[in-house]
Structure 1
């Protein structure tokens, strides 16, 4: 059965239309994919542009909080230096700082009489509390710097172990341990923390 020219023309047109439709559909899908990708990229850029100012604002807040805490600690250190000038309060502080076993005590030169009195008070308290004797020597050759806020540094007999019992070192220790509570009291609970 031979196909007539008209049939062949019709069949060629049908095949052409099918192929043309397939190509159009393929290209249309490619174009749609391209624009979907572009939309996602634009959306991503918008998110990035919105998050940058938020991150900068959050960093500013964190810096301001850190500055406030630093200012508070500096104020506490300033007040510690006032405690040292009040000999009655300072004597009570020194009495509590000097409860170690065998020790060599370093102090500021101007604090020597106060430290000596604190050592004399601490020895009986130590003996009662620990039921042990204590050997205490106050180093009169090596003093702490004059510009610190007082206190003592205590060494064991061979100077291998040092305990810094100065008001500043105590404040630093307390500040480090209490930092989460200080932040919570000043700024409230951190909503982004899960623990």
Structure 2
């Protein structure tokens, strides 16, 4: 049976409504799929960037921490050097004070003569040579000549040896010397330096650890006392 125009129009409208509905549903599915993929990609990008940011700031934090350690180490080294400089200055002041006291001792003829006697006698015992040469400051010549006369009998008695002592009248100790004597073997190949400055330097070297411990206390970083 043939359809009327009204029926044809009705079917066409129904088919068009069905197609339109199907298109709408398809579009909604595409939109939903696109939204889902967008959210997934957005989450991935956000996570990637977040990890990059975290990594960047962790790297920066490590760099800052390293810089802080370097700066702290530098500051400690500078402070330690400054402390050592201050300590060295104090030790130098102490040694200068000792030199001033020696100068005052030299200014006392009685005390200085006794010191010269001991320095000459020690030089003779250290050399144990049959002939020696003694050199002193030009202004000490008479004092040294006197103590030599005193020292020779003492040396002969203790060492059981005889010694001839010659005072050097041509060569003298430096004008800057504080005093004391230099004792030489006859060929001048062996020398015993018993000047006041050499004895002070030797004593300072031997006692430096004790001096520093007395002035500044024990060094916590030092493992051995000798």
TM norm structure 1: 0.81
For residues 15-37 of structure 1, the C-alpha deviation after alignment (integer angstroms, 9 at most, x for no partner) is: xx7xx96x987776665444333
For residues 26-64 of structure 1, the C-alpha deviation after alignment (integer angstroms, 9 at most, x for no partner) is: 776665444333221111112223333333222221111
Q: What residue in structure 2 maps to residue 62 of structure 1?
A: 84
Counterpart-to-counterpart distance in 1, 2:188 and 2:169: 15
Counterpart-to-counterpart distance in 2, 1:42 and 1:147: 57
TM norm structure 2: 0.71
Q: Contact conserved, 1:95 with 1:122, CA < 8 A, in 2? A: yes
Report how many residues are paired.
188
For residues 81-134 of structure 1, the C-alpha deviation after alignment (integer angstroms, 9 at most, x for no partner) is: 111121111111111111313310011122111111111111111122222222
Q: What residue in structure 2 maps to residue 3 of structure 1?
A: none
Structure 2: gaps spanning 5 or more residues: 1-28
Structure 1: gaps spanning 5 or more residues: 1-5
Of 140, 152, 158, the residue aligned with 1:111 is 140
1:97 aligns with 2:119: yes
Q: What residue in structure 2 maps to residue 47 of structure 1?
A: 69
Counterpart-to-counterpart distance in 2, 1:54 and 1:34: 30
Q: Contact conserved, 1:80 with 1:168, CA < 8 A, in 2? A: no
For residues 157-185 of structure 1, the C-alpha deviation after alignment (integer angstroms, 9 at most, x for no partner) is: 11111211111110011011111111100
Q: Contact conserved, 1:105 with 1:155, CA < 8 A, in 2? A: yes
What is the Cα-based RMSD across aligned positions, in Å?
2.9
1:174 aligns with 2:203: yes
Counterpart-to-counterpart distance in 2, 1:132 and 1:29: 93
3-state DSSP of counterpart to 1:191: coil
Q: What residue in structure 1 maps to residue 26 of structure 2?
A: none
